[in-house]
A = this chain, B = another copy of it.
């Protein structure tokens, strides 16, 4: 029988998660310190650990919460819709997430580049199930001749790669382009790219 959280508890837990997202997404799990998170959350270090039992708990809570947000765009892909439209809309949703939630993208990028020690189970579990399901849908479209005969899994990988690149490698993109809005031209380019890949 856990008591319902008070307003102050809600506020502080939210502040910690926001601060954790800021710090962990920039420095990775091991590169981040409780001190940094505490300062960012406006709390003392012991007070931080009053709300979460450990550094790992904050990080895990963040990842778990983000996982559903991260899978949502793919879940929305509708098997009964128009194939090209569905895949393009998915691409657009993913690019929007890179633009609007770059910290979340980098949090996952850090985690996965370093071998996904905290979410390996989720990758071969929920993620794999979802991807297999949607890949089957895409494969069906391909077999029916509605789109080009592409490998559905690698098509999904390519959409991840193309869209997340703009969040995860943001500093590189900006350094090369010297622009303050890389997404302005990324959108039309990705639209052309995905359309081309799907064309029969």
Which residues of A line the B interface, CB within 8 A? Answer: 26-31, 106, 109-110, 112-116, 120, 123-124, 127-128, 131-132, 148, 150-151, 153-155, 157-158, 160-162, 164-166, 168-169, 171-173, 175-178, 185-186, 188-190, 192-193, 196-197, 199
From B28, B128, B151, B176, A185 is in contact (CB under 8 Å) with: B151
How far is the CB of A187 from the nearest CB of chain B, in Å? 10
Min CB–CB distance A43 → chain B (angstroms): 22
Distance between Cα atoms of A168 and B193 in the complex (Å)? 22
Once A26-B114, A28-B28, A197-B197 are accepted as A-B contacts, the answer to whether A192 and B150 lie under 8 Å apart by CB is yes
**Which B residues touch A177, using CB under 8 A?**
153
| Residues of chain B contacted by A132 (CB below 8 angstroms) | 176
The reply to whether B113 and A109 form a contact with Cβ atoms under 8 Å apart is yes
Q: Which residues of chain B are within 8 angstroms of A172 by Cβ–Cβ distance?
A: 112, 116, 123, 127
A-B contact pairs, 23 of them (CB 8 A): A29-B31, A30-B30, A31-B114, A109-B113, A112-B168, A113-B113, A113-B168, A120-B175, A123-B175, A127-B175, A128-B175, A132-B176, A150-B192, A151-B188, A153-B177, A153-B185, A154-B185, A154-B186, A157-B166, A158-B189, A158-B193, A193-B197, A196-B197
Assess the A127–B171 pair: CB atoms within 8 A.
no
| A165 CA / B113 CA spacing, docked (Å) | 10
Instruction: Tell me if A115 and B171 are in contact (CB < 8 A).
Output: yes
Which residues of the partner chain B approach A124 to less than 8 Å between Cβ atoms?
Answer: 175-176, 178
